[in-house]
Amino acid sequence: MRNENDVQHLLAYKHNPRYLSGVSFDLNYVKPSTDIGAVVAAADWVILAVPAAFVQQALADLGQSAFSGKVIVSAIKGMIPKENILITDYMARKFEVPNTHQLVIAGPCHAEEVALEKQSYLTIGSHDLATAERFCQLLRNRYVKANALDDLDGVEYCAVMKNIIALACGIARGLNYGDNFQAVLVSNAMFEIERFLDAIMPQHRALSGSAYLGDLLVTAYSQFSRNRTFGNMIGHGYTVKSAQIEMNMVAEGYYAVQSIYELNKSLKADMPITNAVYHILYERISPKVEFEILKEKFK
């Protein structure tokens, strides 16, 4: 944890004052610390769960060999801003973590429902199914099921894309579009994701699976979705800055849409939803005007 006061609070009261504060931690198992070097050194498995925009800052004090021999698991649904690369690519480039020692976590799964012990499902993307299955065994319990999938890149890119789509769904809701339109938006989004994946990382994928369509649906429709909430505020007329301040949490889709938009300049995949969200957030085009254009492109 970055804040020493938060660590002391957790040690004293067994809960995090900032996030999911109703959850009680068993301090026989949870050892909070502000010393990331010590935490990483003591771990066999390292789960990265900070927002993508702050990964470089969070890991800045670690040496190049800090993750040697460890398995790195990304729970981050975003990309490194400006560099426009996936977290796994960044870890390979910066810390020389081999592909066989990297995993990604996909849903459909919100932390809030895991905390409430609601039945949840996880997909672990990997280039090494044996390693992914070992991690699945660590996660499984009576209300969490986990399965391994040999499509690390597709799962990771899809996790980035679904946040952009959730933003679009939130904007649509803020503009008072209804369920009928959102259903068409999401179904068109699946074609857009497929076109992007085929352009950047071609491989046969069953995109109706939980790691793809399932993760998109929960992010697009859930009350717990930060990206949907952020989009809803934009649709209601908030500026980007005012929405960020009021939420006090990071919506990964805000950063992700810029990365995907920039990547697609060379790929040239047909991505009207991504383009619309980018125009609204970064070019300050009216959401109402942009969605009037967007709705004519749907079938």
The one catalytic residue in 70, 162, 288, 295 is 162
- Residue 277: its H or E element: helix 272-282
Strand ranges inside the chain, DSSP E? 45-48, 71-74, 79-80, 85-86, 102-106, 120-126, 144-149
Is 299 an active-site residue?
no
Contact in structure between 243 and 234 (CB atoms under 8 Å): yes
Task: Give the Cα separation of 257 and 255 in Å (integer).
Answer: 6
Nearest-angstrom CA–CA distance, 46 and 285: 41
Do residues 259 and 196 touch, judged by C-beta distance below 8 A?
no
Q: Which residues pair with 45 in a beta bridge?
A: 71
- Residues 227 and 253 sit within 8 Å (Cβ to Cβ): yes
Active site residues: 162
